Structure 1
């Protein structure tokens, strides 16, 4: 069983969308969670994130969570949405070296490592972020399956 933790800032947009997209692929042997570096615990996903997931027929039921030591220890792989998220985790939890990557870095992109933050943007920006995440999740699945 491989445990993957997606991390963004507030755990209301990118990381819950990434978690929901990967869950929708119904891949055996994966457990998934998401958290935010600066999340308020108990918030729903943003309205646009929920709409984009619904429009793509992806089930979701999200309640935001703050990144903590328990989730850090739970995860086998931690996939962040930006390089700064990765750096914060590595500074606060140096024991994560070797298991924390940006999602883009994990899928092979080492130059532009940030997934655009749609927070506060219009529906079109959320749709663009969804498409980007969906492509990255597909690449991540290929990498995860080839390493098993």
Structure 2
């Protein structure tokens, strides 16, 4: 089993959405992804917090993905060591992981860095899904549901590219 670890701050919005979307893709893929499973954690998570209700609603309504049973957890050394790849929501998350676990440098990327490489001006980045022309996925916490919808779309677009890479 190859573990894909998604990391954000509180593990209630972005990384939990990424975990849900990735595992849904794996469960519905006929070939190529069966060896992969996503997990998520936060750098400053409050253990056992539920996924944000707006994140739960957006994934259910727009992607048919249910993350209502998600419980937040803080990243551990074991998570880092057992991960096949670590995908963070921002450059700051990546830098924090590398400061704590320098040995993980060869398998730690931001989601967009891994999905798009250095090509931040690619066509997919300019179709309105990516308002920020950088490698971060902005935190929707505390913002309107529409922002969660945009965030989930950014994550889904990047995951579509990541899944193609992982199949290769």
Instruction: State the TM-score bracket (shorter-chain normalisation).
Output: over 0.9
Which has more radius of gyration? 2
Is 2:116 aligned against 1:108?
yes
Q: Alpha carbon RMSD of aligned pairs, Å? A: 1.0
Is 2:59 aligned against 1:59?
no
2:165 to 124, 139, 143: 143
**Counterparts of 1:109 and 1:32 in 2: how far apart (Å)?**
21
Map 1:18-57 → 2, pairs under 5 A: 18-25=18-25, 26=27, 27-55=33-61, 56-57=63-64
Is 2:68 aligned against 1:68?
no
Q: Which string of whole-angstrom CA distances, capped at 9 and with x for unpartnered residues, describes residues 15-43 of structure 1? A: 00000001111231112100000101100
**Counterparts of 1:49 and 1:17 in 2: how far apart (Å)?**
7
Alignment match, 1:96: 104
Over 4 Å off, 4+ runs: none
**Counterparts of 1:107 and 1:54 in 2: how far apart (Å)?**
24
What are structure 2's unaligned runs of at least 5 residues?
Answer: 28-32, 121-133
What are structure 1's unaligned runs of at least 5 residues?
Answer: none
Q: How far 1:59 sits from its partner (Å)?
A: 2.3
